[in-house]
Amino acid sequence: MTPLRSRQKILIADDSEMNRAILADMLGDEYDIIEAENGARAVQIMQEQDEEIALLLLDIVMPKMDGFQVLEEMNNSRLIEDLPVIIISAETGATQVERAYQLGATDFITRPFDALIVHKRVVNTLLLYANQKKLVELVAEQVYDSELQRNMMTDILSHIVEFRNGESGLHIQHVRILTQLLLEQLNRSGAPLFSSKDISVIGLASALHDIGKIAIPEHILNKPGKLTDEEFAIMKTHTTLGAQILDKLPIYQDQPLVKVAYQICRWHHERWDGRGYPDGLRGDEIPLTAQVVALADVYDALTSVRVYKGPYSHEEAIRMILNGECGVFSPAMYECLQAISPRIPAALQGGEDAPNVRQSFFDTTQELLHRENLSVSRRTLQLVEQERVRNSFFAELTDEIQFEFTMNPLQVTLSPFGAQKLGFPEVIKDPHHNPGVLAMFQSQMVIQLSDMLRSTSPGQPVITYDCLLKVGGEERWHRIVARATWSSDEPPRYTGAIGKAIDIHETHLQLVDLERQASSDSLTGLLNHSSAQKQIRIRLNERPRGKYALVIFDLDLFKHANDTYGHLFGDELLKHLADKLRRSIRGGDIVARVGGDEFLIFMEYKDPLEPIIRRIFNSLLGKFGDFEISLSMGVAQTELVGHDYNDLFRAADSALYTIKRGQRGKGGRYVFYDGTMTKETDASAISDIDSRSGGAAEEEENHDAEGMF
């Protein structure tokens, strides 16, 4: 009996002994491994064992001859025509990848190695070269014709479903034949929509229409009676599950076969009237490829034996479909079905394969499903342990939380210091749903960090993110520096990240304090004029239709206070006034010291402004020691002046100057800018404050000659 798979030789050319050992362990149970420590040795081995080597795994950066030089030598000697080459390298730049493909490389695998990806790519590459090397015998000896070899892997994957579903083994072939007949008839019915290549690809993709059933529980899949509503809801998920399987393929995402197969998997149960599933698409919203396969699937389901029914005749199946008993299809689909109807039975009989071929498919399927995990050799374990010890040693020299995040499997691996610091195990499965991780990170922070990493590119993979983490019950600022990892596929896929989290709490607080100091007045602690101006401009720009007021005031006779009581008294007086000002304003108001004894208030208002100004003005009056506090205050409103900061400041300053000029420097009032005031305005231009202030006239009689109220 011919064995299902004969052992073939794979040459691994890499100057790293550990890399060679890892790859040998991944593949050594199924293939004979030959190792070369540099490019020159690899060329020598290929020349000596040309006919025996089935595949070359080739590193780029090597001594004596690098990978590109090896590929050039293989081109010169024409070895590249018969020997497939997979590049294995950490070099993922577009230039290196493009050059490797130009020199004849078949595929590209990046380090660190993923056992599943390495194994699948090796198998797929060897299958592509099966005609030349006869390397893999995955089906029985009867399958020799080229068409079946071309479709072999797709049929194997599809038969996994039929193997579980207990179907005849002919459903996939029937659907493919019917799909091709319908597509050819569509071309004959009008302008050709599909090339012969398109029809071949769509026919091949149709074999994958039910791969999502591999995830449906067997008791539902093979239930002989009618499904309950709950069971039917589960059964319907095979469409989205199949699409997910294809969407998560690590390779070939840009290939037409995968794209078409995705459409077919997801939407082959949609119906023209929108009553299908999973998305309720209607009419031309349903891709034409999915419409064709849907009709082929329905016909074969009607005419085949199922666990829940017997077969209908060809004539009865056609009648049921045309009468809409199996869902509504487009008029074009009905016309095509009627046109090919006489040819369908003969076409399906001619496409039937022998039973022993079906069994060989099932045997191969079982082999794929029950493949044992690859073992790891003693040499690899020693090399990996050396690498782990070295990395741990360097990690322990720094107080940094080092981590590695991977998408497949979804987990975070922490350095020993990081795990101890955070109180986590070194490996955290499904970190997005781990309670400890969610307690440390705010959910929004996780989203932001993930978005930043995903928005990088292979050429610019590094990000920096400052955030507040809750570590040991205490919130502390940390800086996360991470490098996103990308696959070598085209286009590249985001696969995870490596990085570290550094405690920057003290440094952050110092920076915040420096920023606060830079924006604050050193004496009073209020904002300085420059910082206040920036904040006010932002407010004015954000709400250009808002009602705002800018107030400028100063202390009357402040020079007299300094001269009489000393400058230290004057400083304390200004701080006292700043404290009263803080207590007088609302939460959203902006206050600042403009300079000297001059202050600024910026506020938004909806109610009448004059009572608000009067309240603030009166709250600031009083005595400080033996000094009677008197103020002069100018007010400008955006309703009159507009939303330009400079215009507001000049207007408020002009109103303030009007008071000073009218009272000969004594002040003791507040006044609103009326549109005419300038620093040259006569005292007679001052508005009558008493008439706007209610009982201000009576209050004025109780004050000294300065006229304060």
- Whether the pLDDT of residue 356 is over 80: the answer is no
Q: Cα–Cα–Cα angle for 299, 155, 337, nearest 5°?
A: 20
Phi–psi pair at 194, nearest 5 degrees: -130, 140
* Residue ranges in 109-250 assigned as alpha helix (H): 115-128, 130-133, 146-165, 171-189, 196-206, 218-221, 229-236, 238-247
Q: Could you state, in order of their start, the residue ranges of all structural domains in the chain?
A: 9-133, 146-353, 398-510, 520-701
Average pLDDT for residues 610-616, to the nearest whole number? Answer: 93
Residue 574, judged by CB atoms within 10 A of its CB (0-12, 13-18, 19+), counts as buried
CATH homologous superfamily, domain 146-353: Hypothetical protein af1432 (1.10.3210.10)
Taking the C-alpha atoms of residue 48 and residue 58, their distance in angstroms, rounded to an integer, is 17
Label residue 487 by pLDDT band (50, 70, 90): confident
In angstroms, what CA-CA distances link 677 with 51, 182, 315, 599, 640?
A: 100, 87, 98, 20, 12
Q: Tokens 């090399």 correspond to what residue?
A: 383
- Whether the pLDDT of residue 656 is over 70: the answer is yes
- Output the pTM of the full model: 0.34
Q: Can you list the pairs that 320-329 forms with residues at least 24 positions away whose Cβ atoms lie under 8 Å?
A: 321/295, 326/298, 326/302, 327/271, 327/272, 327/273, 327/275, 327/276, 327/294, 327/298, 328/271, 328/272, 328/273, 328/275, 329/271, 329/272, 329/291, 329/294, 329/295
For residue 371, the model assigns a pLDDT of 41
Equal fold, 146-353 vs 398-510: no
Class of domain 9-133: alpha beta
More confident residue, 276 or 27: 276
- Whether the pLDDT of residue 692 is over 80: the answer is no
Class of domain 398-510: alpha beta
Burial 67-78 (b: 16+ CB within 10 A, else e): bbbbbebbeeee
Fold category of 520-701 in CATH: Alpha-Beta Plaits (3.30.70)
Taking the C-alpha atoms of residue 476 and residue 149, their distance in angstroms, rounded to an integer, is 61
For residue 651, the model assigns a pLDDT of 94
Residue 664, judged by CB atoms within 10 A of its CB (0-12, 13-18, 19+), counts as exposed
The pLDDT tens digits for 144-202 are 344 444 455 555 555 555 555 655 457 888 888 999 999 999 988 877 788 888 888 89
What's the distance, CA 477 to chain centroid? 24
Label residue 18 by pLDDT band (50, 70, 90): confident
603: closest CA among 617, 587, 581? 587
DSSP 640-695: HH-S-HHHHHHHHHHHHHHHHHHTTT----EEE--SS--TT--GGGS--HHHHSST
Provide the pairing of β-strand 494-503 with 474-486.
antiparallel
Phi–psi pair at 308, nearest 5 degrees: -105, 0
Taking the C-alpha atoms of residue 617 and residue 630, their distance in angstroms, rounded to an integer, is 10
Helix (H) or strand (E) holding 293: helix 288-303
